[in-house]
Amino acid sequence: MNVYFLGTGTSQGIPVIGSHHPVCLSSDPKDKRLRVSIWISWEGHSFVVDCGPDFRQQMLTSGCQRVDGIVYTHEHSDHTAGMDDIRPFNFRQGDMPVYGHKRVLDNLARRFDYVFETENKYPGAPSVIPIEVVNNQPFALGDKTAIPINVMHGNLQVFGYRIDDFAYLTDVKTIEASEIDKLKGVKVLVVNALREEAHHSHFNLQEALDFITLVRPERTYLTHISHTFGFHAEIQSKLPENVFVAYDNLAITI
């Protein structure tokens, strides 16, 4: 399975509009981060986890030619605002399956009502097939099985996902022991680490490292990075040897 990091930044991206923070002014391409999302693919199957406001740019940069479905973690705009830009895939492939918690699908149907419309629909609008994800109910993605991982983003429920030996969790602040059990044996983990300072709804670095110690994957990649965390190279220098700072357009194989 191939994992391509479409974006690794927090909700504002890096650089932040109008910011003179040194990280926002960095010339290192690893310090430039679009909103968080991944593209996973294997043997004729291709899925995207989250579809934020940078989706069009991410698809063009990555060279992704086909998306068999979009898997949503939660409804915040940095994870969902790119829905209108699925149209080119619709025109080539037909209706797009979209997977998410019922609350998330209902939220999208309100915000993108013209996408979910079934009567008198504008012919150029995106088209989707909503598929509800329920905790403790694995579901099919292509010829693989995805396991939802229930976590809390402050007081908001969010889904992470495990597929084979890979797990992706973003916007995590707390997670129950029963959900951690679902991650046993994972070889590659992706998890959010917003910054070093504590945050009310995201893991900071120490919380992410403590979580990694519990899960014990072979490799971990940190994502959903804020400019206040510091420069990519400086962050990496502080990490254990099997923990890496993800960056936009990083591609790994599992």
Number of structural domains, the chain?
Answer: 1
52-91 pLDDT, tens per residue? 999 999 999 999 999 999 999 999 999 999 999 999 999 9
Range of the domain at 50: 2-16+32-253
Instruction: Tell me, yes or no, whether 229 lies in a domain.
Output: yes
The CATH number that applies at residue 158 is 3.60.15.10
Q: Is residue 23 part of a domain?
A: no
With cut-offs at 50, 70 and 90, classify the pLDDT of residue 120. Answer: confident
Give the Å distances, CA to CA, from 96 to 27, 56, 70, 90, 143: 37, 16, 8, 6, 17
26 within domain boundaries: no
Classified as helix, coil or strand, 185 is coil
Number of C-alpha atoms within 13 angstroms, CB side, residue 219? 10
- Residue 22 resides in a domain: no
Tell me whether residue 220 is in a domain: yes
Query: pLDDT tens digits, residue range 181-211?
Result: 999 999 999 999 999 999 999 999 999 999 9
- What is the average per-residue pLDDT within 125-140? 97
Q: How confident is the model at residue 160 (pLDDT cuts 50, 70, 90)?
A: very high
How many angstroms separate the CA atoms of 20 and 166, rounded?
A: 37
Q: How confident is the model over 38-61, as pLDDT tens digits?
A: 999 999 999 999 999 999 999 999
119 confidence band (pLDDT: 50, 70, 90) = confident
Asked if the structure places residue 211 within a domain, the reply is yes
In a domain, 234, yes or no: yes
- C-alpha to C-alpha distance for 250 and 3, rounded to whole angstroms: 8
Question: How high is the pLDDT of residue 196?
Answer: 97
Specify if 121 maps to a domain. Answer: yes
Amino acid at 204: N
3-state secondary structure of 16: coil
What Cα–Cα distance (Å) separates residue 164 from each residue in 50, 107, 184, 208, 210?
Answer: 19, 29, 11, 22, 23
What burial class does residue 178 get, using C-beta atoms within 10 Å of its C-beta: 0-12 exposed, 13-18 middle, 19+ buried? Answer: exposed
